[in-house]
Structure 1
Amino acid sequence: MLRNLMMTSALVLVTACGQSDTDNDKAAEADNGLVYVHAGHLVDVEKGRVLDDQMIVIEGERIVDIKPWTEEAALSGVIDWSGYTVMPGMIDGHSHLLGDIQSEDPMAPLEGTRQVDIDMGIINALKTLKAGFTIVIDVGSYRVFTDVDLRDKINAGEISGPRMMVAGAYITVPGGGGEVIGLDAGVEIPGEFRAGVAANEDEVREKVRYLLDGGVDFIKVIATGAVLTVGTDPGEPEFTEAELRAAVEEAAKDGKYVTAHAHGAEGIKMAVRAGVRSIQHGSLADDEALRMMKEHGTWLVADIYNGDYIKEVGTAQGWPEETMRKNDETTETQREVFSKAVKMGVNIAYGTDSGVYPHGDNAKQMAYMVRYGLTPMQAIQSATIWGAQSMSMEADIGSLKAGKFADMIAVSNDVLEDITVLEHVDGVIKGGKLVR
């Protein structure tokens, strides 16, 4: 019943958003085909400053100019954000849009269908976009290529959602952190849930090639055990360094990169030496691992809000004792590692593990980024220009600049004085279209 209601809600939300976008576009576009945004304050994330009373000129999907506000813009072509602080749309570097959010039931991923997962993804995508996240890196779904399907629907304009970079599935060892395990004896796991399972170098290359041929944007490897996967140890490596390197080499043939889920220090070091672009979580990194990340330019994407949510909701809902223990063992350690990484100058990109907790709450981690070492400006940069750099996409996204996509958000208060205002975004523009 709940899933049927959610699917119906998805259709209502998408239709409503589509109508709103069309009406807003007609209202905003001036006679010369341009859209003008009057920004009371504009956050320049590249230079780490705030400019007052700016005009952002948009043509089609992209920004064509930014300059001090003048009255040259026709009134019919102005989006009046003169009372707001305007900044680039945010990037969540660790998201799971497909399917339902995390629960205590290990059978949950198997209970729906491919279409149910996508329909839920439609709802999740719209919530995420309206929360001010115009780009997400979706780091894997259990059913192979459901994320590709959702991305393609968004790109085709069929539904509203953030720009998506997708992994297709997890590259994981048999019974590893990317598998659906902890099920009753005799439960058969369909093949679409095991598309990335690989037991040696040759199988890693084969599975990576399969995902690349299926249209993914990058590869996600599960380098260590996971907090939320029963029977795995977050501190223990699951792939060898040679197997991780095989994934990196195969992805590089198509100009693609690899990101590694890695909690434990040894797994992190192996992944860095193998050439991965980023480390997801990094909860148990030691000083050597952080120094290696700094030396290699490897990005840290640490979900430092997530542990509090898991503790509260997992306790209330009766999540497995093992999961709760592992969460306790990694949460504060991860935050200490994050603080140390900031001080050491490790590359930091914003990522939340949304999908474990409700979509649309992605900005709740911002306050944690500041609490554990970043300045408010740096926290914003981690979710904008630094996040774009972590994907080598800074030519198109991550800052407000002529030539880049017109992805931006508006908040009513001074974000540098109170970073939590990002939890309640007042306006969103994606690709020159007013979303809210």
Structure 2
Amino acid sequence: MIRRLICAAILCASASHALADESGTTPIALRCDHFFDANTGKLLGPTTIIVVGERIQSVQSGDVATTDMRVIDHPGMTCLPGLIDSHTHLTMQFSKSTYSDKFRMNPADDAIAGTVYARRTLEAGFTTVRNLGDGDNASIALRNAINRGTVPGPRIFTAGGPIGTTGGHADPSNGFRWDLQGDPDAKNGIINSPADAWKAVRQHYKDGADLIKIMPSGGVLDESSSAENAQMTVAEIEAVVAAAHDYGFSVAAHAHGAEAIRRAVIAGVDSIEHGTYMDEQDMKLMKQHGTWYVPTIIAGKYVQEKAGEGWFPPQIARKAEEVGPIIQATAGKAWKAGVRIAFGTDAGVYPHGDNAKEFGYMVEAGMPPAFVLQSATTQAAALLRRAADIGSLEAGKFADIIGVAGDPLADISRMRHVDFVMKGGVVYKDGAGAVRP
């Protein structure tokens, strides 16, 4: 009897191991009627993508004969690289009650909500995001949970909390009564000198951040009076950049105002976020320095709309109504001027999962559809310094693949209806066709 039980246990374990091996290593042949080549910006014909494990083994034109593979076949589907949103806030989402929720909600609430927002983002076709600001490092915990496989979500490269100055856009106590304001310091991301800047960056390294986000200008949704005034000195920004680059971080700069943009570019930041009041001098400087621009048009439009619906206190509503009508035109001018542009949306200011609306706004601003798709693939991957792994569908890169029906170059709104999502060789969404063994 004991011998039989041992044999049965071994057989069960072997069978279980075999099933695990099959599900983890069986190659996948993904057949696409069309294929977006992100390197050239061209739409190609029928293509077969062979996936082994978490990476692409080969990309071959035509309907390639396959044996001993799991075949996924979607007639009419266009395959594209997994999309990259370069500006998200996955652990928050604005609502009518946001300004009072901060007195009721705990960090754990934000972290749990983030698991929902992460899944929505992934299912919308965004397999990678750059998360630019959170509270209590909730996005670092979310990133770790996704990397462990605990919850589904995109690849997250997170800045943790933003770095700014006392009373600036990053100061969490703006608008509070005096006895509640406190005096947040460099450990909390609030700096007032180059020395503070070094400490804040080093704290981010200690916390496990992937990059740095700074606030050198005013913002729309905090309770200060200006969205565009300069709020960091060149010396402070230079200190952040020097410290960040010592630790292998890139630096993203939230900057609406022209002077703040100029200071940030001169000081060596890697990207300008929003850039609402960017002028010709700023654009020339950005081209000279190779600085990236992440427009976030959808966020400007959304806050303008909600200001009209009474969502915000009067001072914030005024700023939203000023910024909203400008940001799209600025993005169009920057593209015409030849500024490097990466796709980003400020997700969390508007509802997560609607990220792809930005494509339509970029096209309305004058950018060609192929360019806007590249901005969310090859260009965003370059900004992230991850072009060796993501951003295009090529042998050796992660199998981050999405599918939409029809031709997104002819109708960019198709990007808002993603039918198929694979991240790292795992299918997370498959709503358009059959999966064959």
Q: TM-score, normalised by structure 1?
A: 0.90
Counterpart code for 1:97: L
CA distance in 2, matches of 1:30, 1:178: 45
Q: Note the C-alpha offset of 1:336.
A: 2.1
CA distance in 2, matches of 1:193, 1:184: 22
Task: State the partner residue of 1:59.
Answer: 52
Distance 1:192 1:68, change over 3 A: farther
CA RMSD for the aligned pairs? Answer: 2.1
What per-residue deviation string (whole Å, max 9, x for no partner) do you get for residues 25-76 of structure 1?
A: x899799721110011000010111111101011111111000234421375
Distance 1:393 1:232, change over 3 A: farther
Map of 1:30-429 to 2, 5 A cutoff?
33-74=26-67, 77-103=70-96, 105-143=98-136, 145-180=137-172, 181-187=174-180, 195-429=188-422
Name the SS for the 1:107 alignment partner: helix
Name the SS for the 1:182 alignment partner: coil
**Contact 1:41–1:54 (8 Å) recurs in 2:** yes
Moved over 4 A (4+): 26-32, 188-194
Paired residues, number: 410
**Contact 2:96–2:311 (8 Å) recurs in 1:** no
Counterpart code for 2:167: G
Q: Note the C-alpha offset of 1:281.
A: 0.5
Unpaired runs of at least 5, structure 2: 1-18, 430-437
Distance 1:330 1:320, change over 3 A: same
What per-residue deviation string (whole Å, max 9, x for no partner) do you get for residues 188-208 of structure 1?
A: 669699710111110111011
Distance 1:32 1:147, change over 3 A: closer
What per-residue deviation string (whole Å, max 9, x for no partner) do you get for residues 221-241 of structure 1?
A: 001000111114222110100
Name the SS for the 2:45 alignment partner: strand
Name the SS for the 1:268 alignment partner: helix
CA distance in 1, matches of 2:225, 2:251: 22
Task: State the partner residue of 1:11.
Answer: none
Q: Note the C-alpha offset of 1:286.
A: 0.8
What per-residue deviation string (whole Å, max 9, x for no partner) do you get for residues 380-420 of structure 1?
A: 01111111111111111111111111001111121011101
CA distance in 2, matches of 1:225, 1:108: 22
What per-residue deviation string (whole Å, max 9, x for no partner) do you get for residues 64-116 of structure 1?
A: 10002344213751111232011011111110001343445423234211211
**Contact 1:27–1:76 (8 Å) recurs in 2:** no
CA distance in 2, matches of 1:141, 1:130: 22
**Contact 2:225–2:315 (8 Å) recurs in 1:** no
**Contact 1:104–1:317 (8 Å) recurs in 2:** no
Name the SS for the 1:261 alignment partner: strand
**Contact 2:185–2:191 (8 Å) recurs in 1:** no
**Contact 1:28–1:77 (8 Å) recurs in 2:** no
Counterpart code for 2:238: R
Q: Which moved more, 1:99-108 or 1:209-218?
A: 99-108
Q: TM-score, normalised by structure 2?
A: 0.89
Q: Between the two proteins, what is the percent identity of the paired residues?
A: 38
CA distance in 1, matches of 2:186, 2:95: 16
Q: Note the C-alpha offset of 1:126.
A: 0.2
Counterpart code for 2:138: T
**Contact 1:28–1:78 (8 Å) recurs in 2:** no
Name the SS for the 2:179 alignment partner: coil
CA distance in 1, matches of 2:56, 2:88: 27
Distance 1:233 1:52, change over 3 A: same
Counterpart code for 2:350: Y
CA distance in 1, matches of 2:73, 2:256: 45
Q: Note the C-alpha offset of 1:317.
A: 3.9
Distance 1:178 1:232, change over 3 A: farther
Name the SS for the 1:224 alignment partner: coil
Distance 1:192 1:356, change over 3 A: farther
CA distance in 1, matches of 2:146, 2:25: 28
CA distance in 1, matches of 2:21, 2:282: 50
Distance 1:397 1:340, change over 3 A: same
Q: Which moved more, 1:63-72 or 1:349-358?
A: 63-72
**Contact 1:104–1:320 (8 Å) recurs in 2:** no
Name the SS for the 2:232 alignment partner: coil
Distance 1:197 1:110, change over 3 A: farther
